A and B are shown apart, each in its own frame.
Chain A
Amino acid sequence: MVVTASPLREIGCYSCAVLLWLLSIQPLQAKAVGEGEVANLAYGEVLYQFYQERYFDAIVHLTAALQKAPMAEQGSDAELLLGGLYLSYGMHDEAERILNQLLLEEGNEALHDRIHFYLAKSRYRRGLLPAAERSLTQIKEQLPIAQQQEQQLIYGQLLLDQSRDKEAVVPLSNLQGDSILARYGQYNLAIAQLRLGDVESGQALLQHLGRMEVNSGELAMLRDQANLTIGSWLLQQGDLEQAKRYLNLIRINSMLSNDAILAAGWGYAEQEDYPEALAHWLELSQRSTAEPVVQDALLAIPYAFLQLNAKPQAIEHYNSAIATYQHEMVEVAAAQTDVQSDAFTNRYLLSSEAESKEIINAYLQPLVISHPFQTALQSLRDLQAIEQNLTHWSSELGTFDTMLAAREQNYEEKLPLLERSTAIEQFQKLRQQQQQQRQYLTQIRAKSDALALATSKERRALTRLEAVESRLPQLAGSVDQEQVAQRTQLFHGILLWRASTDFQGRLWGVEKGLRESEELLEQIQVRQNSLIALKGQQKAIFAHFAKQISSTAGQIEYLKPIVSELIDQQRAEIRDASLAYLKQQQLRLESYLTQAQFAIAQIHDEALKKSERQSQ
């Protein structure tokens, strides 16, 4: 969590954005930009869901695609993407299982480094510091530059979290430059140096950060943080003049300005410059009284008046503070009622980010923007989405039943037509004819029977010649008989010569035609076989579908109460955390109230004693 005295929504939004960024796994793309070729449509479609942060749909589509066919083109990327998707969807255990599996594959050091990096981030975020450190130390510096910076930052942070400040200096010192990550690293390095007693280096680094040029709200916030830290440090050293220089650099509208004003006021008070201290605290008292820092100032103001011996003003301000604390306690009680009735959670879940600040009680805002709370809310959102998903499928399964019935009916109607179109008797007849033709062609080839392949014109001529030859006996004894016989023989020879000359070509043509008809028959045979198989299988397929629909319906009904139960538990978790947080606020206000009441009583007591002494 970001360490601030009074975090507001601004940093919360920022935290969420960075959280997504920190958790994001950048998969290899379906195509490299500019290459113009998509390697796998299904993988590209999963990326379409992923890039729009629809993690649930992306996981469903990817696992379905992988079940249909492996994504050979993507290599390990599909699995890596799946691991990343599970991380993004809050399923750390499954993500770790997949990513660890990928680590068993040998020969891809760059991929291994990326996996160790993502595992480290995920583990660190869940507070598994030793495991995160193990992953970080296994990275062999094959990460892209941007990720290397992130790696150093996480490593340094992880060591600082365990008070291993000396070790933390090493990775944090690697963060040079002016990127946001580098700036965070430099701030953390300054903190490590101050903790280690290297005041000079720590101060110098904070001074540098406190004066850096900024081009974003994020960096401006970091600059304010650096100035507040160094200002507070100098105040502790008793160097008010130097401290003021840094505290005055904090933007007036910054969420840290309240802390700066309060601290500066106490700096003046320490030097007994109470008028100046009052000036700071009175300014602070005009700000939101829901802020703990402002509430603190409300007690400091009458304290300063007392030091200036202005008891009436002190009493007035103590009374004013008491009224404010009582009013704020009513606000806290209202927030508690709001939380107990779940109205707060419901309202927040329905609000947009812009609306949420307006509708959430000021006392809950610091809690709401904290990372654990946002994670808990996201889990609740996920569970509610699951509940809707199951309701949706419950109603859709009826459509599946209808569709299955329609397909069965359609099948029953079409089956007779299909059977007729591929009637077995008709097919057998065609098959016999084709076999006879094949035998006949074999005989023609064996005998080189050229006239068997004569054209129709040649056949007609041959028929006419045969008719003439059959009449030759009628011309017996005549002069013409021999002449006609010679001529018919000549024509016969010409016909035979022509047919013989073209025989090979004709044979090839007939062979080709016969082969085509054989292929056609083969296709019919395949269709016929598949129809026979289909007839056997289709009923089983329909029965399988029906069984699947029915078992899925049962599974949905089984899951529904589990989801409801988990939603209730998650709501209770959020409720308990909120109430515990509000209890702290309530106790703080009660303590302030007691202090103010006690101070008034003390003033009155002293006045009474003084009056008694005077009367004696």
Chain B
Amino acid sequence: MKLKQIIAGLLLMLLPLMAVSAESASAKNETLDGQIQNLKQEVLKLNRNLFLLQEELLFPGNSQFSVFLSLDIGQYFQLDSVTLKIDNKTVANHLYTQHELQALKRGAVQQLYLGNIKSGQHELVALFTGKGADGRDSQRATSLNFDKRTDPKFIELKIIDQTSNGRALFEVKEW
């Protein structure tokens, strides 16, 4: 008698198995969920507007200057950190986490710096610290002389794997 109860309980496992299965939400849950979704929508819109307002106020187009960083594969240089200098003044330092590196290796682009500079000629220098293809500590650098005009300026630092020589190439691209 007891065996049958136990086995019947265990055979409830004859329900299908999957890590996540459908859930049935109560009406109360749905109402609350709907309210939360509406709130999220409002807060997201608010944040978008504030994001744009902040950019317009703090980084107006005529002086806005952004530096981005991207990796193309990223096997030949294991990036640890980047130091960014503009006109010989350090404006950004970034130490990378594994999560950030994974994101970059999947094709994402990091905004390394957003600031203001005056119109005219400037020099950008980027110093990369990491490990080379041979696993040894390595420091590389790249630079660019550029002309800032009255429109926003975007610059991309690119670390590109060169299969021809098994080394990483450090490039700067003006957008």
Contacts and interface: CB of A to CB of B under 8 A. Distances in A.
A2 B17 contact: yes
Interface in B26-54: 28-29, 32-37, 39-54
Contacts of B15: 3, 160, 191
A371 B25 CA distance: 12
Contacts of B25: 126-127, 372
Majority secondary structure of chain A interface residues (helix, strand, loop or mixed): helix
Interface of B: 2-4, 6-7, 9-25, 28-29, 32-37, 39-54, 56-58, 66, 68, 70, 72-73, 99-100, 102-111, 154, 156, 158, 160, 175
Contact of A222 (B17, B21, B22, B49): B17
Contacts of B39: 383, 386, 559, 562-563, 566
A236 B108 contact: no
Given A45-B110, A232-B7, A52 B24 contact: no
Given A22-B20, A51-B103, A67-B52, A379 B3 contact: no
B46 A552 contact: yes
A93 interface: yes
A122 to B, nearest CB: 11
A340 B97 CA distance: 39
B115 to A, nearest CB: 14
A379 to B, nearest CB: 6
Given A52-B99, A64-B51, A269-B3, A225 B13 contact: yes
Given A90-B36, A127-B22, A191-B14, 20 more contacts: A4-B13, A5-B9, A33-B107, A47-B106, A48-B100, A50-B108, A51-B108, A64-B52, A128-B22, A191-B17, A195-B14, A225-B17, A235-B3, A235-B7, A389-B47, A396-B54, A545-B56, A545-B57, A559-B43, A563-B39
A382 B44 CA distance: 12
Contacts of A400: 53-54, 57
The 10 closest A-B pairs by CB, nearest first: A44-B109, A29-B107, A51-B103, A18-B19, A48-B108, A47-B108, A232-B10, A160-B16, A266-B3, A188-B16
A125 interface: yes
B20 A125 contact: yes
A47 B107 contact: yes
A349 B56 CA distance: 37
Contacts of B11: 229, 232-233, 236
B21 to A, nearest CB: 6
B23 A126 contact: yes
B22 A125 contact: yes
A44 B11 CA distance: 50
Interface of A: 1-5, 14-15, 18-19, 22, 29-36, 38, 41, 44-45, 47-48, 50-52, 56, 59-61, 63-64, 67-68, 89-94, 124-129, 132, 153, 156-158, 160-161, 168, 184, 187-188, 191-192, 194-195, 222, 225, 228-229, 232-233, 235-236, 259, 262-263, 266-267, 269-270, 296, 300, 303, 371-372, 375, 379, 382-383, 386, 389-390, 393, 396, 400, 403-404, 407, 545, 548-549, 552, 555-556, 559, 562-563, 566, 569-570, 573
11 contacts: A2-B17, A30-B107, A38-B156, A48-B104, A61-B51, A129-B22, A222-B17, A235-B7, A267-B3, A545-B56, A562-B39
Contacts of A389: 43, 47
**Central interface residue in B3, B19, B50, B175, by most chain A CB within 10 Å:** B19
